[in-house]
Amino acid sequence: MHKFPVLEIFGPTIQGEGMVVGRKTMFVRTAGCDYSCAWCDSAFTWDGSAKDDIRKMTAEAIYTSLHEKGGDYFDHVTISGGNPALLKHLHELVDLLQEKGCEIALETQGSVWQDWFNAIDDLTISPKPPSSRMSTNWDKLDDIVNRLEHAGRSSHTSLKVVVFNEEDIDFAKMVHKRYPQLAFFLQVGNEDLQETNDQQLAMKLLQQYEWLIDQVMQSSELNHVRVLPQVHALLWGNKRGV
């Protein structure tokens, strides 16, 4: 059994983003990322600030911890990061959780392929727009999307682009045009990671959401899309572990 670097296990709560927004779920957050997005809202997974909190856990230990926290109150687990796609042997966790009757969601930016992607129930690939200051390896992303498609996984896969500005919207259009076969989500970015007044943050996020909706409504290139807020930030501000 391999050990995985885990930073947070919590829930049950709701999935706040993307293709299964609102779904009752547990969260497992793994440490480590090959990116360093300018606006990363989980920079503690890779910037060293939480490195003493990383626990190396087997799939069995992760399941035990999930069960301790969630009891019989869940049947869905979201694996998030960092970039959990860096973990080559993560199928051990995916297989175990599915044996225990759970569905699995996982989010990755799409920089690395793993064969176990084909087992994920709700796979979100989230290429990072210009505001992140990262650049996408398109050959790699093409390859990932092709592999999923050939394995018949398109209905279990979606693309998500987090949008902070107009340049990001152009990027979103380009991604949607490149992979029209995949469900496509646009999400409001959270610019105020230091804001501690939850109500003020919620109001600002709703304003930005309205701006994003307006932009999408005015574009005929963004018809077959869904536009979502980041529900967790609306509800719980910048708190961790909810």
The DSSP bridge partners found for residue 78 are 27, 105
Start-to-end CA distance of the chain, whole Å, equals: 29
Which position among 22, 142, 166, 197 is part of the footprint of a second copy (CB under 8 A)? 22
Rounded Cα gap, residues 132 and 39, in angstroms: 6
Q: 103-142 mask for ligand SF4 (x: CB under 6 A)? A: ------x------------------x--------------
Burial bucket for residue 163 (CB in 10 Å: 0-12, 13-18, 19+): buried
Rounded Cα gap, residues 73 and 117, in angstroms: 26
Name the binder of 216 from a second copy, ligand SF4, none, CB < 5-8 A by kind. a second copy
* Binding piece for ligand SF4, criterion CB under 6 A, among 38-46, 117-125, 151-159, 175-183: 38-46
Q: Half-sphere exposure of 145 toward its Cβ, with a 13 Å CA cutoff?
A: 21
Burial bucket for residue 220 (CB in 10 Å: 0-12, 13-18, 19+): exposed
Name the binder of 81 from ligand SF4, a second copy, none, CB < 5-8 A by kind. ligand SF4
Q: 46-75 mask for ligand SF4 (x: CB under 6 A)? A: ------------------------------
The DSSP bridge partners found for residue 123 are 106, 157
Which position among 11, 81, 84, 237 is part of the footprint of ligand SF4 (CB under 6 A)? 81
Give contact residues for a second copy (rule: CB under 8 A): 12-14, 20-24, 71-76, 185, 199, 202-203, 206, 209-210, 213, 216-220, 222-229, 231, 234-235
Give contact residues for ligand SF4 (rule: CB under 6 A): 33, 35-37, 40, 42, 45, 81-83, 109, 128
